[in-house]
């Protein structure tokens, strides 16, 4: 079932806001058999809106639109949808009561500007917004379905369940099966060489294989399109097993596993806990781990020691080590990991120290240098050092990936 | 100068990867007078690529393409560009030497698959990739410029300087001035009511005003399009001053200020340092602050106390408080802030504790409850508590925003 997404908003076109809406919607739609063929980002501009919706309806059965539904003057999506689908903007009493309730529950007055949110094209069927004021709208024309949703990510997400239910009821989408294998420790081109024969044998009319480098890992996605579902499942499983056997030594996870998920699964398997001592990663590793629900089962905490005094006073890194070897050194990260284990009584600790830059710290340690240690409570540890010539953000990201990879290596060493 | 971006990649259409490339490119292009009118995300599919590039060339002078340049079989952009602009794929010796050098410097063999990266359409002028293997390509046809770049964000970013230089040389883009005012503590609709007269007076042929809610703040963007640059600057400044005076009490920053930047500027102004004691935010506040270069001047560190034992043993929160009041309580966050000030000898401390969920901790504190404290070294402090019914990720984000907002409020109280 061909589906397109149109995201309306000047803020997206000038790069002020990253378009997270389209990826969220695509993920849900694709995994339910609604194949997203195109995403168009356009301005809050009448001509662009009319043209894009018309073009999308030529190509696709389903068009999902986000944005331009706010109460302010720059938002014109509702007016444009009236032009396209007929009808006039008039107050929907049910929506109005709903919006009014939201304002009064927050002890705010229901002003005319807020009330304007309840004015909808008479040609649409509204979708209630339970967490905000702008309702969604469903239009139908010539067998095509066009759905308009708010651009605020949280509000759009909250409505996607209703949207999906409506679409599944109206269409009978084709089978799509996506299976991922997550690999690490090998570059894309070497992986591709290893898989040359496998790809040659693949039935291109049914299957496709994609390489997705992502956060220090490569996700291999095997996709099946069309055909009978149960049979397709079996075929996909066989191919997946084949694929896994070819690259077994590099496989670290499956589906949407990323490094924090893989680490968290391993810790649960071992009934073990982790603590961190972060300097240059500044809390990013802790943040990525605590994004996972249930993190508290495996994660004890992190000391973000952005300052040498804290490395010494909280983590107990001896002044002697910091002075003799520098804060960015293997002896320092080893002492930080030890300190973290002692302080938190965790089973594993990972520590990072580096010069993210762009400015030097005045010593002769070059900007971009990083040292990492992963240690278990018996004191067995691995260290890693390198130098990155990159932006601050990318540096923090890479070092966080390296640190989690080093811990996975330590798990593997233990398993030997 | 009309500009379009086409991002090629199945991974973008199935929602596996968020499209950060288009926002990065848009930001640079727009601020240099190349107005981005449309972003299209399409599949690694011959028909879609040919059609989209042709359509974009009808509408715009400049078309920037990313993606589909890897060495693997799913990448077909180069072949499509040959079809569109003529020529054949043949090895570019200069690029080949460059790619070979990258592999040998990493002690990796220069395999035929890697070598394929140096095969370019004879109709293009290459752009060197100093941090990766896939070069960029510049095509010209009927006065239009089409530039193809790798989809790996880091590699694309590294080439955008060369791209911009080339475009500025070739075109003489129109004046665009964007000025932002960042406000907090007021909703979009009330802000819009306050600015009704201002918007009525605005010359719509030259200026536009947009509301961009973002991370607990609203950015108001005043944009000028076209006209003479120096005069436009003066006019914009006058309007900006007018705008600021109307909403003075809510203004917290300017341009691309976000909460971490505003906090960091305030700390520098006071020659003061900050420390954190994070429970439910799990290191996210520390991460957001340390993303700013120069963070070490104002930030001492964070204790991510994901576990009650660490709240007690590291931060010194008395067991009595944790047992009597619960870990998510105002007495706990006050004690955490005190502990953080003591431990790090910072001038300010912010602490967070909450139940991010989705699971309850077994006590009668409801999921979504959060408590925050901001304190200065004299012990003066503000607290905030609320309850959010939202996703884990959104919860962490909102609480981080609230915590930084509370610190800004404390600064304002001090300034009174």
Of A21-30, A42-51, A159-168, B167-176, the least confident: B167-176
pLDDT band per the 50, 70, 90 thresholds, residue B360: confident
Residue in chain B closest to A34 (alpha carbons) equals B14
Residue in chain B closest to A39 (alpha carbons) equals B41
Of A236-250, B201-215, B397-411, the least confident: B201-215
Is the distance from CB of B354 to CB of B395 less than 8 angstroms? yes
Q: Is the pLDDT of residue A189 over 80?
A: yes
Check CB contact under 8 Å for B300 and A283.
Answer: no
CA angle B161, B164, B166 (to 5 degrees): 110
What pLDDT score does A389 carry? 78
Q: Tokens at residue B231, please? A: 């005069």
What does the mean pLDDT of chain A come to? 91
Q: In B, residues 239-278, which contact A (CB 8 Å cutoff)?
A: 256, 276, 278
Q: Tokens at residue B286, please? A: 């520390």
Q: In B, residues 183-222, which contact A (CB 8 Å cutoff)?
A: 187-190, 192-193, 199, 208-214, 219, 221
Non-local (6+) Cβ contacts of B245 within 8 A are none
Separation between Cα atoms, residue A180 and residue A240, nearest integer Å: 9
Residue in chain B closest to A41 (alpha carbons) equals B39
Q: Is the pLDDT of residue A43 over 90?
A: yes
More confident of the two residues A154 and A373 = A373
Partner residue facing A72 (CB), from B72, B114, B188:
B188
Half-sphere exposure of A247 (CA within 13 A, CB side): 28
What does the mean pLDDT of chain B come to? 91
pLDDT band per the 50, 70, 90 thresholds, residue A196: very high
Separation between Cα atoms, residue B395 and residue A380, nearest integer Å: 37
Stated pTM of the model: 0.77
Q: Is the pLDDT of residue A21 over 80?
A: yes
Residue A28 has φ and ψ, to the nearest 5°, of: -65, -45
Check CB contact under 8 Å for A301 and B304.
Answer: yes
Please compute the mean of the pLDDT values over residues A16-45 and round it to a whole number: 91
Write out pLDDT tens, residues A234-284.
Answer: 999 999 999 999 999 899 899 889 999 999 999 999 999 999 999 999 999
What pLDDT score does A55 carry? 94
What pLDDT score does B388 carry? 86
User: Chain B: nearest CA to A358, how far in angstroms?
Assistant: 7
What pLDDT score does A322 carry? 92
Q: Is the pLDDT of residue B216 over 80?
A: no
Residue A330 has φ and ψ, to the nearest 5°, of: -65, -45
Please compute the mean of the pLDDT values over residues B17-31 and round it to a whole number: 90
Q: Which residues of B343-377 are buried (b: 16+ CB within 10 A; e: fewer)?
A: bbebbbbbbbbbbbbeeeeeeebebbbbbbbbbbe
Write out pLDDT tens, residues A316-342.
Answer: 999 999 999 999 999 999 999 999 999
Partner residue facing A343 (CB), from B154, B314, B359:
B314
What pLDDT score does A305 carry? 93
Is the distance from CB of B117 to CB of B134 less than 8 angstroms? yes
Partner residue facing B306 (CB), from A48, A290, A358:
A290
Q: How many CB pairs under 8 A join A and B?
A: 320
Q: Where are the beta strands (DSSP E) in B71-113?
A: 89-91
What pLDDT score does B189 carry? 84
Q: Which segments of A112-208 does DSSP mark as H helices, in order?
A: 112-115, 153-170, 188-194, 196-201
Please compute the mean of the pLDDT values over residues B240-261 and round it to a whole number: 92
Is the distance from CB of B396 to CB of A290 less than 8 angstroms? yes
More confident of the two residues B175 and B89 = B89
Check CB contact under 8 Å for A189 and B113.
Answer: yes
Residue of B302, B362, B363 to mutate when probing chain A, most A C-beta within 10 A? B302
Is the distance from CB of B344 to CB of B275 less than 8 angstroms? yes
CB proximity B238 to A under 8 Å: no
CATH numbers and ranges of domains, chain A: 2-170 (3.40.980.10), 176-254 (3.30.70.2860), 259-415 (3.90.950.20)
Check CB contact under 8 Å for B286 and A282.
Answer: yes
Partner residue facing B178 (CB), from A14, A296, A309:
A14
Separation between Cα atoms, residue A238 and residue A246, nearest integer Å: 13
The distance of Cα B134 from the centroid of its chain, to the nearest Å, equals: 25
Separation between Cα atoms, residue A234 and residue A416, nearest integer Å: 33
Please compute the mean of the pLDDT values over residues B111-140 and round it to a whole number: 91
More confident of the two residues A50 and B363 = A50
Please compute the mean of the pLDDT values over residues A149-161 and round it to a whole number: 92
Residue in chain B closest to A315 (alpha carbons) equals B314
What pLDDT score does A370 carry? 96
Q: In B, residues 373-412, which contact A (CB 8 Å cutoff)?
A: 390-394, 396
pLDDT band per the 50, 70, 90 thresholds, residue A358: confident
Of A103-112, A219-228, A404-413, the least confident: A103-112
Q: In A, residues 56-95, which contact B (CB 8 Å cutoff)?
A: 70-74
CB proximity B54 to A under 8 Å: no
CA angle A358, A362, A368 (to 5 degrees): 40
Check CB contact under 8 Å for A23 and B15.
Answer: yes
Q: Is the pLDDT of residue B361 over 90?
A: no
Residue in chain A closest to B178 (alpha carbons) equals A14
Q: Is the pLDDT of residue A144 over 90?
A: yes
Partner residue facing A392 (CB), from B15, B293, B313:
B293
What pLDDT score does B311 carry? 93
pLDDT band per the 50, 70, 90 thresholds, residue B228: confident
Q: Tokens at residue B347, please? A: 């001038």
> Where is B163: in which H helix or E strand?
helix B153-170
Check CB contact under 8 Å for B284 and A287.
Answer: yes
Separation between Cα atoms, residue A280 and residue B233, nearest integer Å: 40
Separation between Cα atoms, residue B132 and residue B141, nearest integer Å: 27
What pLDDT score does B362 carry? 81
Residue in chain B closest to A20 (alpha carbons) equals B18
Separation between Cα atoms, residue B138 and residue B126, nearest integer Å: 6
Non-local (6+) Cβ contacts of A188 within 8 A are A211, A213, A218, B70, B71, B72
CB proximity A168 to B under 8 Å: no
Check CB contact under 8 Å for B23 and A39.
Answer: no
Q: Is the pLDDT of residue B312 over 80?
A: yes
What pLDDT score does B42 carry? 97
CB proximity A47 to B under 8 Å: no
Separation between Cα atoms, residue A98 and residue A27, nearest integer Å: 30
User: Chain A: nearest CA to B261, how far in angstroms?
Assistant: 15
Please compute the mean of the pLDDT values over residues B355-362 and round it to a whole number: 82
Non-local (6+) Cβ contacts of A171 within 8 A are A1, A34, A61, A62
Contacts of A154 in chain B (CB under 8 A): 390-391, 394
């Amino acid at each position: 079932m061909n589906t397109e997404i149109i995201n309306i908003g000047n803020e997206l076109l000038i790069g002020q806001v990253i378009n997270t809406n389209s990826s969220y919607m695509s993920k849900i739609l694709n995994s339910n058999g609604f194949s997203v063929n195109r995403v168009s980002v356009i301005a809050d501009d009448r001509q662009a809106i009319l043209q894009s919706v018309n073009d999308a309806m030529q190509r696709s059965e389903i068009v999902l639109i986000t944005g331009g539904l706010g109460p302010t003057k720059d938002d014109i999506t509702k007016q444009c949808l009236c032009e396209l689908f007929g009808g006039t903007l008039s107050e929907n009493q049910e929506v109005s009561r709903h919006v009014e309730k939201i304002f009064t529950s927050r002890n705010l007055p229901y002003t005319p500007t807020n009330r304007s949110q309840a004015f909808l094209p008479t040609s649409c069927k509204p979708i209630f917004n339970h967490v905000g004021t702008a309702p969604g709208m469903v239009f139908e024309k010539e067998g095509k379905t066009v759905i308009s949703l708010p651009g605020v990510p949280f509000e759009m997400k909250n409505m996607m369940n209703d949207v999906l239910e409506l679409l599944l009821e109206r269409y009978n989408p084709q089978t799509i099966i996506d299976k991922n294998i997550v690999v690490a420790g090998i570059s894309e081109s070497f992986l591709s060489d290893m898989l040359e024969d496998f790809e040659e044998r693949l039935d291109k009319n049914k299957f496709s294989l994609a390489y997705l480098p992502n956060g220090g890992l490569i996700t291999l996605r095997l996709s099946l399109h069309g055909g009978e579902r149960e049979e397709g499942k079996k075929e996909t499983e066989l191919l997946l097993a084949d694929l896994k056997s070819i690259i077994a030594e590099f496989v670290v996870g499956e589906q949407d596993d990323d490094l924090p998920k893989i680490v968290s699964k391993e810790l649960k398997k071992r009934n073990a806990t982790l603590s961190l001592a972060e300097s240059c990663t500044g809390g990013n590793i802790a943040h990525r781990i605590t994004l996972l629900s249930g993190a508290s089962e495996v994660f004890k905490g992190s000391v973000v020691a952005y300052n040498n005094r804290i490395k010494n006073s909280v983590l107990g890194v001896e002044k002697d080590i910091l002075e003799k070897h520098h804060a960015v050194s293997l002896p320092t990260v080893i002492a930080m990991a030890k300190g973290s284990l002692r302080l938190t009584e965790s089973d594993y600790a990972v520590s990072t120290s580096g010069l993210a830059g762009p400015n030097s710290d005045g010593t002769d340690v070059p900007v971009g240098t990083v040292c990492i240690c992963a240690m278990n409570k018996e004191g067995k540890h691995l260290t890693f050092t390198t130098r990155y010539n990159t932006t601050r953000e990318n540096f923090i990201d890479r070092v966080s990936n390296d640190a989690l990879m080093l811990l996975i290596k330590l798990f593997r060493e233990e398993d030997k």
